[in-house]
Amino acid sequence: MLTNNIRAAITAVNGHVPDYVLTNKELETMVDTTDEWITTRTGVKERRILKGNGLGASDMAAPCTLGLCEKRGISPEDIDMIICATVTPDMVFPATANVVADKIGAKNAFGFDLNAACSGFVYALSTGAKFVESGSHKKVVVIGVDKMSAIVDYTDRSTCILFGDGAGAVLLEPTEEEVGVMDSLLYSDGAGRHYLKQAAGGSVKPSTHETVDAKEHFIFQDGQPVFKYAVLKMADVSVEIMEKNNLTGDDVAWLVPHQANLRIIDACARRMGLGKEKVMINIEKYGNTTAATIPLCLWEWETQLKKGDNIILSAFGGGFTWGGVYVKWAYDS
């Protein structure tokens, strides 16, 4: 519910993916898998990997945010807030948002990281919008970035085929027009924490030789329960946000789903009554980049978006977390 007439409009979008392409063919040489299995079970054909020592999430998020400023024609010093959604921060602390601000010269921004795994971007977008709607902040950068290759076990065929690295970002600015972030529904259920996690390295199980030997710093995923919950909850929240805003499938121009598995995306679109032509899908090129999937889609589809388009962003991820955001696109590119 708005307390004034200010909405948070997305006024620019940008993406950044590393150059190295890890194909299904290359994965066939690393683990017991096939291009056919990966393609039919997940939809992924290739993913990008950030190679090089000493490079982390901020090395994708910083160029992504600089490019965002260039596209909008603003200086990094104009930014007053940076929210960085990630589960693969440069370090446990300080926050990667702080590192990004320093690297790009965003001297007037405060920032923090937000951890909601694959729902990170929808959580962060909704959070950033509140700061703009309140009138307190006027140029808020929302980043979704993950270097999943840092926590993927490339001997585990059930997870290494899924994930990739990348960053996407949007700029939020105030508007009094009927565009921007119109509504959001965010949920979580911590009982799901056992099915998708990085078990060690936190305060419960600090890093030791034993945790490294037990591979507890890699992603653990019990795929089937996660899959079942994801299909249900991503579709539920997408339908719920449509109904709450009196939108039918005909009113929705685009679904921007988190890219975890093509079968989850298809199920979600079906429940919403949307044809494939209205669904942004790039999982075949990038795999699951966790917090970056949704802004990477917006970046790739930007030229097709028109002012006034009704767009539903929808995600499900570790936590469990899930959520939907209803955006009215604010500009013709």
Pairing of strands 180-188, 321-328: antiparallel
Say if strands 7-16 and 165-175 run parallel, antiparallel, or are unpaired.
antiparallel
Of the pair 203, 224, the CB lying nearest ligand UT7 is at 224
Tally Cβ neighbours within 10 Å of residue 174: 20
x/- binding map, residues 200-239, to ligand UT7, per CB under 6 A? -----------------------xx-xx--x---------
Structure tokens belonging to residue 323? 């959520």
Please work out, in degrees rounded to the nearest 5, the angle formed at the alpha carbon of residue 324 by the alpha carbons of 318 and 329: 130
Assigned token pair, 251: 């009113």
- Residue 290 and residue 151 in contact, taking contact as beta carbons nearer than 8 Å: no
Q: Does 24 bind ligand UT7 (CB under 6 A)?
A: no
Name the segment binding ligand UT7 (CB under 6 A); options: 60-68, 84-92, 240-248, 259-267. Answer: 259-267
Residue 42 interacting with ligand UT7 (CB under 6 A): yes
Interface region with ligand UT7, contact rule CB under 6 A, candidates 2-10, 156-164, 170-178, 278-286: 156-164
Among 21, 39, 41, 309, binds ligand UT7 (CB under 6 A): 41
Give me the torsion for CA of 73, 76, 82, 88, rounded to 10°. 100
Please list every residue from 280 through 319 that binds ligand UT7, using CB under 6 A.
288, 316-317
Distances (CA, A) of 189 to 186, 233, 253, 261: 11, 11, 30, 21
Residues carrying an active site annotation = 118, 258, 288
* Residue span 72-101 as binding mask against ligand UT7, x where in contact by CB under 6 A, dash where not: ------------------------------
Minimum distance from residue 295 beta carbon to ligand UT7 (Å) = 15
Q: Does 260 bind ligand UT7 (CB under 6 A)?
A: yes
The encoded tokens of residue 178 equal 């009927």
Segment lying near ligand UT7 (by CB under 6 A), choices 32-40, 96-104, 168-176, 177-185? 32-40
DSSP for 48-60 reads EE--STT--THHH
CA distances from 173 to 135, 295, 332, 333 (A): 10, 16, 16, 16
Site for ligand UT7, rule CB under 6 A:
33, 37-38, 41-42, 118, 157-158, 161, 223-224, 226-227, 230, 260-261, 264, 288, 316-317
